[in-house]
Amino acid sequence: MVGTAIAHADTVTTVKQGETLKSIAKDNHITVKALAKANHLKTSDKLTSNQKINIPDPPKTHTVEQGESVSSVAQKYGLKTADVLKWNNLSWSNSTIYIGDKLNLQDPNQPQTNDTDTQNTNSTKTTATSLVGNTQAERIVNLALQYANQGIPYVWGGTTPSGFDCSGLVQYVFAQNGISLNRTTVGQEQNVATTDVSSVSDVVNNARPGDLLFWGQHGASYHVAIYIGNGQFVAAPQPGQNVDVENVSNYFMPSFIGRVAS
């Protein structure tokens, strides 16, 4: 097989070895939740080779929720951030979105069936309090997600795109956005205002895209990551792994949030 074909309505596909709900959802530009629901599965269920699963049609739009950015929405549907920006008349320097906006997930200029749910994302905004993120935070999230999609390996002491350790990734991403941070996790604690967290809901309710997540005690943190919204973060995890997007979980719970002063 040369490439993965995108499924259409009522498509049934056969699971190949190594495929997961996440990988199949990404290939077909749908969410893991939608794929699981279409097959009466839980999002945590594992697939087996030769298993038959239904692939629902990819949605045309997405309604923006609290904590989301253009990049996190694109990543959720296995799309390129640059494409989602283009389809919604946005740009890297003007990518602010608001809660309740409808983002096009397909090229609106391509012929397609009528969809009353498709709306112009540049509609009048009701209040400034519904702002999802500012331009600088969006750029930080965008760049972090770019690196998460490039297969960059974890390298102890790494501070460049040829290889990062956790704090090296954070320092580099922020530096590319004009913000100077200290080199180590403990050092970076001193660049932020912190908020302790003890549950996934604490993180989701308090962290903003572009914030840092720290693991370990204050003054002795051992891991740091960039929060991208929707309960997810980008990190250089450990030797043998690549920079990747991960979910906040009770299994590996950050200890506190760090917010860099704007």
Mind listing the pLDDT tens digit for each residue in 22-76? 889 888 888 888 898 888 888 888 898 889 888 888 899 999 888 788 888 888 8
The predicted pLDDT at position 2 comes to 37
| Higher-pLDDT residue of 95, 209 | 209
The predicted pLDDT at position 92 comes to 75
The predicted pLDDT at position 230 comes to 82
The predicted pLDDT at position 126 comes to 28
Assess whether pLDDT exceeds 60 at residue 182: yes
DSSP code of 128? G
Assess whether pLDDT exceeds 90 at residue 240: yes
> Alpha-carbon distance 197 to 253, whole Å?
9
Residue with tokens 């993120």: 133
The predicted pLDDT at position 134 comes to 52
Residue 53: closest CA among 3, 19, 29, 76? 19
Pairing status of strand 61-63 against strand 52-55: unpaired
Question: Which of 130-144, 190-204, 237-251 has the lowest average pLDDT?
Answer: 130-144
The predicted pLDDT at position 216 comes to 96
> Alpha-carbon distance 90 to 41, whole Å?
36
The predicted pLDDT at position 150 comes to 85
Torsion of CA 35, 40, 43, 45, to 10 degrees: -120
Domains in the chain, please, with CATH?
11-55 (3.10.350.10), 59-133 (3.10.350.10), 135-260 (3.90.1720.10)
Out of 104-108, 112-116, 121-125, 254-258, the most confident range is 254-258
pTM of the model: 0.57
Residue 143: closest CA among 221, 53, 97, 75? 75
Give mean pLDDT, residues 88-98: 82
